[in-house]
Amino acid sequence: MIANEHRCWVEVSRRRIAENFRAVRDLVGSGVEVMPVVKADAYGHGAVEVSRVLEAEGARWLAVSSVAEAVTLREAGLQAGILVMTGFLPHEAEALAPLRLTPVLHDPDAIASLERLAETAGRPLEYHLKIDTGMTRLGTRAGAATIAAAVKASGRARLQGLMTHFASAGNYESGQTEGQMRAFEEILSALRAAGVDPPFVHAASTIAIAYGRRDAWHNLVRPGHAIYGYVSPARGPAPHVALSVRPALSWHARVLTVRDVPAGSRIGYGGTFETPSPMRIGVLSAGYADGIPHRLSGRGKVIAGGHLVPMMGAVSMDVTTIDLTSCPDVRPGDAVTLLGREGGAELDAQQIARAAGTLSYSVLCGIGARVRRVYVDG
């Protein structure tokens, strides 16, 4: 174990990040560009360091959510193209040209606004246009004629990519994804017939990649979850998962104190757990402010001394109580594993999410800012 000075920390494997990126690249082949998604601080893994690993592996594009996230990467020296997937607000516009950011636009009318920005900057600005094919969130439902007219009316604002986003890519009991793919192909074909042929076309994120929806890959894919070692399970008659990735992050916390308590002791806020017999308890230096879901109260587990042990009572803001009755050798200052592998025991974000009734994305992104990120090469 490393980082002995930390109370609560995650270890992120640079090697795993690189291997996961290569696994995606090998699966989709040389004709498909891989644009890793590093939004939300790289799903809690640390966007700057993760992006450095990805850029060193040959990633020519990175995807973020906001201009602020893109600014952080540019200030850290990242040179890859950066796609800002939720576009830009008026006060963020001035950052686009000097930082070489590529916004996603969600309305053909926004092309004219970008054209004016490009004229002010004295240089062309590229953009990707998002088509709403059924997510009913961001994106345009304008027809091909309207889109083509707006694209052709601009000289300095240049369409570089056409994209969409699937709402139910992992649900093979539903035909929604197939319907979205058809709608996207129809608008793409109509645009090409009108003389608008974007260099990049993309629709697939991790699930569509991993389950082999090749018709959705086009010439660019946007893996997010897979870069960090996860592929969400599908529903219905899904094909075999074609992508093999491994979690890149493990999460640890120190034991603050160990106590022997008698039967009938009530543990934590609300006294929601009462010891049925004499027990040994440990108090961990991590709570919901660090990202342990409060809904794990009384139902979550951690790994102590190589064994899975239960959480007891309510998860507090700064501490969590665990049952150490079966682990008599654990002492104050020892580390336990909140997420990861220790001995023969393992907890990953998907297991934690099932116990908490949430998503593995939420577990990873919820790891708090005060949790130290430590990067390892192994």
Domain harbouring 342, CATH code:
2.40.37.10
- Domain match, 186 and 260 both: no
- Domain match, 221 and 358 both: no
Among 228, 260, 282, the domain-final residue is 228
- Domain match, 216 and 280 both: no
In the predicted model, is pLDDT for residue 127 greater than 70? yes
- Domain match, 170 and 90 both: yes
Give the tens place of pLDDT for each residue, 130-165: 999 999 999 999 999 999 999 999 999 999 999 999
Number of domains the chain contains: 2
- Domain match, 278 and 365 both: yes
Question: Mean pLDDT for the chain?
Answer: 97
Segment 159-188 mean pLDDT: 98
- Domain match, 256 and 350 both: yes
Domain contains 19: no
- Domain match, 216 and 322 both: no
Percentage with pLDDT > 90 across the chain: 98
- Domain match, 79 and 195 both: yes
Domain contains 11: no
- Domain match, 263 and 361 both: yes
Helices 67-75/47-56 angle, 10° precision:
60
Domain contains 243: no
pLDDT at residue 170, as a whole number: 96
In the predicted model, is pLDDT for residue 1 greater than 50? no
In the predicted model, is pLDDT for residue 173 greater than 50? yes
- Domain match, 303 and 346 both: yes
Domain contains 369: yes
- Domain match, 274 and 224 both: no
**Amino acid identity of 45?**
H
As a whole number of Å, the end-to-end CA separation of the chain is: 12
Q: What is the CATH number of the domain that holds 162?
A: 3.20.20.10
In which domain, by residue range, is 108 found? Answer: 31-228
Domain contains 18: no
pLDDT at residue 4, as a whole number: 58
Looking up tokens 């342990």 gives 292
Residue 319: CA count within 13 A, CB half-sphere = 15
- Domain match, 223 and 279 both: no
In the predicted model, is pLDDT for residue 3 greater than 60? no
Q: Which residues are catalytic?
A: 39, 269
